[in-house]
Structure 1
Amino acid sequence: MEAGANRGGLEGELIARMAKRQERKRQELLALALGVKLGSKGTLLWKPIKLLASCPQISSPVVRRSALKDTPEKLSSYEKIHNFKVHTFRGPHWCEYCANFMWGLIAQGVRCSDCGLNVHKQCSKLVPSDCQPDLRRIKKVYSCDLTTLVKAHNTTRPMVVDMCIREIELRDGEKADISASAYADINIIAGALKLYLRDLPIPVITFDLYSKFIQAAKLPNAESRLEAIHEGLLQLPPAHYETLRYMMAHLKRVTTFEKYNLMNAENLGIVFGPTLMQPPEQNALTTLNDMRQQKLVVQLMIEHEDVLF
């Protein structure tokens, strides 16, 4: 009883802290809907905006959560850098950034292998991160950069993740068919999902944020751990965040059928920890030393999915 009360108090404090951050997001969302900008000139308009925010229709937790979750799914926010490779052009070619001629017989410039943009090598350092992948250039689904794939297919998450999770959930819990023929099939589907996540060139929890999540798991205070994990989640690229959010919601549902599938949050953390987060140096010793923290990060994200995402 005491442990439950402490856990409830912890989640309550964390929700209060996160609510302050989300308040600013809600203000920006309302300002955007009214066509105004927040700032020195927008302060005069802030009072009516604040009154609007207090309306039941807007402040409803369900509507507010839906609005906030829809915001990162806008494809325009899925920023992606170009994937330039040295290229030899046949015939005259002009740089699509500076509009100057590309001189030389070989290796005159670089071409983005995802969208086909042709520029000088020196101009490639100045091109903004506005790559719009062309589906005709994306030759594979597995081992393809996550953001590249979702932008090419005009989706918020990889279709592999959606398709596999939908099929797995159709067979979970009391509906699970554990006969020999069906059992092998569901393992194949689950294996396909894990293989896709494991083969991503950049893991769902990106290399540059790996150490931040590992250090968060090492914090002795439970509240600080959750706060640090939440901070890390906010720094993920939108496509990675949305994929992780969808995965954690699915795994949270899996745990509700623990008596059938024997998979609680800790067991799922052991299974998915090394899949969702990998050390950038790919060192076996580092991976072994970090396994406990990897497991704990995923376990906490599952247990507190409704608070962290």
Structure 2
Amino acid sequence: YIHVHTYVRVYTYVRVPNYSHLFQITTNTGSEYLLQTDSYSTAIKWYDAIRKTVDSSTKLPPRRSNSTEYLPRHGSLPGYGSASPNAKQRNPVHRRSINMFSSSKLKHSTSDSADKNGVKNRLKKFITRRPSMKTLKEKGLIKDRVFGCHLLTLCEREGTTVPRFVQICLDAVDKRGLDADGIYRVSGNLATIQKLRFIVDEEEDLDLDQSQWEDIHVVTGALKMFFRELPEPLFPFRFFQLFVEAVKIKESKLKVQAVKKLIQELPKPNKDTMKLLFSHLHRVLDFSRKNLMSTQGIGIVFGPTLMWPELDAGNMAVNMVYQNQIVEFILIESQEIFNLDRK
């Protein structure tokens, strides 16, 4: 049998689709093939041809009950399938399957079997000539993304403990944005932010000193988008409730010790990235008279950006209060928590 997936890249935060359509075909032998086109109409024709060919075959095994999975955060080709109620809300792979098999019994007509077999054989030859996904990655035709990649995976791939994109953005803000009015609060041009994201994901050379990135709010907007699209936030899911309980502590010194202990237990990429970010935000506060940003303002911006619960079963408003309070408290006590040099 042939199982076909269609990938349409969707930006989690702004939900803007990419312009290319990519089909992944997996055979029952485990081989994988990719078919890609920039034309939506061509993608529809390919889909119809593959579906018609598979439906016309008399050698297909019964459809497996778990062969179709839909993720509610994505769009699909019109007119095919419906969302599964058991689909997961968060999936870092962002993929959805299209059911290639009709629920009704397959029909086969002997009068046109020759034509259908011909189409089937031509399609089979075409598929066998296509390179596998592994080959495409080895040749650099398919690249691993930066946005939407797990923090540990990204740092391991780059050989760092802080993502390069985060470092580049923070350096740019330190250089020319610390005194910008409403830094991190004011939104940059969305189209320009998406352009910056595309360049980063394509692993092209990024120079934030170029004139197209002169609006520092575009840089901060892309940085916030990077953190929002992490499959697991900078504050890992398993630590969410622990930080909430720590920030509830009344006595100030005990609260600092509890939060500091939790941060020391974080994976190194999370801990190092957090230290770099909060030391930078502490410098932002040094220019609060010019940029008009306060600890409360930064907490409101970065609370839901850096941490959220794995399941949204609780009270969202209450969670947001704690998210803001945790970020604000760490920012205020950043010198003690991260052992920063005092000036």
Q: TM-score normalised to the size of structure 2?
A: 0.48
Per the TM alignment, residue 268 of structure 1 is displaced from its structure 2 partner at its CA by 0.6
Give the aligned partner of residue 304 of structure 1: 333
Per the TM alignment, residue 177 of structure 1 is displaced from its structure 2 partner at its CA by 12
In the alignment, the residues of structure 1 paired with residue 256 and residue 222 of structure 2 have an alpha-carbon distance, to the nearest angstrom, of 30
Per the TM alignment, residue 139 of structure 1 is displaced from its structure 2 partner at its CA by 1.6
Give the letter aligned to residue 149 of structure 2.
C
The CA RMSD measured in Å over matched residues stands at 3.6
Per the TM alignment, residue 226 of structure 1 is displaced from its structure 2 partner at its CA by 1.1
Per the TM alignment, residue 257 of structure 1 is displaced from its structure 2 partner at its CA by 0.1
Give the aligned partner of residue 168 of structure 2: 163
Q: Map Cα deviations across residues 138-160 of structure 1 (whole Å, 9 max, x no partner).
A: 52100000010011011121111
Match of 1:218 among 240, 248, 258: 248
Give the letter aligned to residue 146 of structure 1.
L
For residues 277-288 of structure 1, what are the structure 2 equivalents within 5 Å? 277-283=307-313, 285-288=314-317
* 1:262 matches 2:267: no
Give the aligned partner of residue 152 of structure 1: 157
Give the aligned partner of residue 208 of structure 1: 238
In the alignment, the residues of structure 1 paired with residue 291 and residue 179 of structure 2 have an alpha-carbon distance, to the nearest angstrom, of 10
Give the aligned partner of residue 216 of structure 2: 186
Change in 2 beyond 3 A, CA 1:164/1:183: closer
Structure 1 unpaired stretches of 5+: 1-86, 91-133
For residues 53-132 of structure 1, what are the structure 2 equivalents within 5 Å? 89=30
In the alignment, the residues of structure 2 paired with residue 262 and residue 177 of structure 1 have an alpha-carbon distance, to the nearest angstrom, of 6
Q: Map Cα deviations across residues 100-153 of structure 1 (whole Å, 9 max, x no partner).
A: xxxxxxxxxxxxxxxxxxxxxxxxxxxxxxxxxx99685210000001001101
Task: Count how many residue pairs are aligned between Structure 1 and Structure 2.
Answer: 184
Structure 1 ranges of 4+ moved more than 3 A: 87-90, 134-138, 173-178, 180-184
Per the TM alignment, residue 207 of structure 1 is displaced from its structure 2 partner at its CA by 0.1
Structure 2 unpaired stretches of 5+: 1-27, 32-137, 189-210, 339-343
Alpha-carbon contact 1:279-1:286 (below 8 Å) kept: no
Identity %: 30
In the alignment, the residues of structure 2 paired with residue 281 and residue 174 of structure 1 have an alpha-carbon distance, to the nearest angstrom, of 37
Task: Specify the SS of the correspondent of 1:263.
Answer: coil
Change in 2 beyond 3 A, CA 1:158/1:183: closer
Give the aligned partner of residue 7 of structure 2: none
Alpha-carbon contact 1:279-1:287 (below 8 Å) kept: no
* 1:142 matches 2:171: no
Change in 2 beyond 3 A, CA 1:262/1:177: closer
Mark the structure with the bigger radius of gyration. Answer: 2
Give the letter aligned to residue 238 of structure 2.
D
Give the letter aligned to residue 263 of structure 2.
L
Give the letter aligned to residue 175 of structure 2.
L
In the alignment, the residues of structure 2 paired with residue 298 and residue 273 of structure 1 have an alpha-carbon distance, to the nearest angstrom, of 6
Higher share in helix: 1
Give the aligned partner of residue 322 of structure 2: 293
Per the TM alignment, residue 287 of structure 1 is displaced from its structure 2 partner at its CA by 2.8
Give the aligned partner of residue 9 of structure 2: none
Give the letter aligned to residue 226 of structure 2.
Y
Task: Specify the SS of the correspondent of 2:215.
Answer: helix
Per the TM alignment, residue 167 of structure 1 is displaced from its structure 2 partner at its CA by 0.9
Task: Specify the SS of the correspondent of 2:315.
Answer: helix
Per the TM alignment, residue 176 of structure 1 is displaced from its structure 2 partner at its CA by 7.7
Q: Map Cα deviations across residues 142-197 of structure 1 (whole Å, 9 max, x no partner).
A: 0000010011011121111111111111113458899x999982111111000000
In the alignment, the residues of structure 2 paired with residue 257 and residue 208 of structure 1 have an alpha-carbon distance, to the nearest angstrom, of 34
Q: Map Cα deviations across residues 194-224 of structure 1 (whole Å, 9 max, x no partner).
A: 0000100010000000000011111122122
Alpha-carbon contact 2:303-2:323 (below 8 Å) kept: yes
Q: Map Cα deviations across residues 49-97 of structure 1 (whole Å, 9 max, x no partner).
A: xxxxxxxxxxxxxxxxxxxxxxxxxxxxxxxxxxxxxx9556xxxxxxx
Give the letter aligned to residue 149 of structure 1.
L
Q: TM-score normalised to the size of structure 1?
A: 0.53
Per the TM alignment, residue 282 of structure 1 is displaced from its structure 2 partner at its CA by 2.7
Alpha-carbon contact 1:269-1:299 (below 8 Å) kept: yes
Alpha-carbon contact 1:138-1:152 (below 8 Å) kept: no
Alpha-carbon contact 1:214-1:293 (below 8 Å) kept: yes
Per the TM alignment, residue 267 of structure 1 is displaced from its structure 2 partner at its CA by 1.3
In the alignment, the residues of structure 1 paired with residue 139 and residue 163 of structure 2 have an alpha-carbon distance, to the nearest angstrom, of 14
Change in 2 beyond 3 A, CA 1:250/1:220: same
Give the letter aligned to residue 196 of structure 1.
F
In the alignment, the residues of structure 2 paired with residue 247 and residue 135 of structure 1 have an alpha-carbon distance, to the nearest angstrom, of 35
Task: Specify the SS of the correspondent of 1:280.
Answer: coil
Task: Specify the SS of the correspondent of 2:162.
Answer: coil
Alpha-carbon contact 1:255-1:264 (below 8 Å) kept: yes
